[in-house]
Amino acid sequence: MTPKEILFDLDGTLTDSGEGIINCAVLALEHFGLPVPSREEMRVFVGPPLHETFVRFGVPSEKAEEAVAVYRSRYIPIGKYENTPYPGIRELLEALKAQGHLLYVATSKPEQMSVDILEHFDLAKYFTRICGASMDTSRSSKDAVIAYLLAQSGTAGKKIMVGDTKYDILGAAAHGIPAIGVSWGYGNVSEMEAAGASAIAHSPEQLLTLLNSL
């Protein structure tokens, strides 16, 4: 088996971070006196860049940075730990490492927060590099994060992206990287398929099989 370089999204792919993200997004919407939708509707906060999502929920674009600051005032000390790895993820990472694959994280979450979360759950050790967004908007899209990762890693092996939203699929495609969608996260399977996902995994066990077959 030829080792691959596998890029993982974080929120909705490795860990179920919805509780903390939604709790902090509610705080920010309340700060602006905006209506707070149902938690089901607010699931879309998990994954995409926060600035864009706050504008979708009524925050004026010129106030988006303030909304993110309010969000982070709770997220950094509390919200990032209202989170848990999905069942089977640790075993998946262990199996992939044992097979000789190189594992990376490519997430739209700020990089240091991502490192903190993965270290908290003792998952950071599986990854060659953890790459995330910058704290401002200069590196926030999945496309930009993957470009940053590729520039940092300097490797030329076969790459595959794994994520739970269309943004992961499209970001990988921008760099000619095939992507597998996972159905247990916060994205929409139909949207991932329409974006060009090579396959959809419905469990970490199935994901392992797909990663070794592509």
Task: Kindly list the catalytic residues.
Answer: 9
Of 174, 170, 153, give the one whose Cα is nearest residue 4.
153
Give dist(CA 120, CA 114) in Å, integer: 10
Of 105, 100, 89, 101, give the one whose Cα is nearest residue 5.
101
Give dist(CA 192, CA 198) in Å, integer: 9
Task: Measure Cα distances from 161 to 27, 60, 65, 210 in Å.
Answer: 32, 33, 29, 12
Angle between the 89-98 and 204-213 helix axes, to the nearest 10 degrees?
30
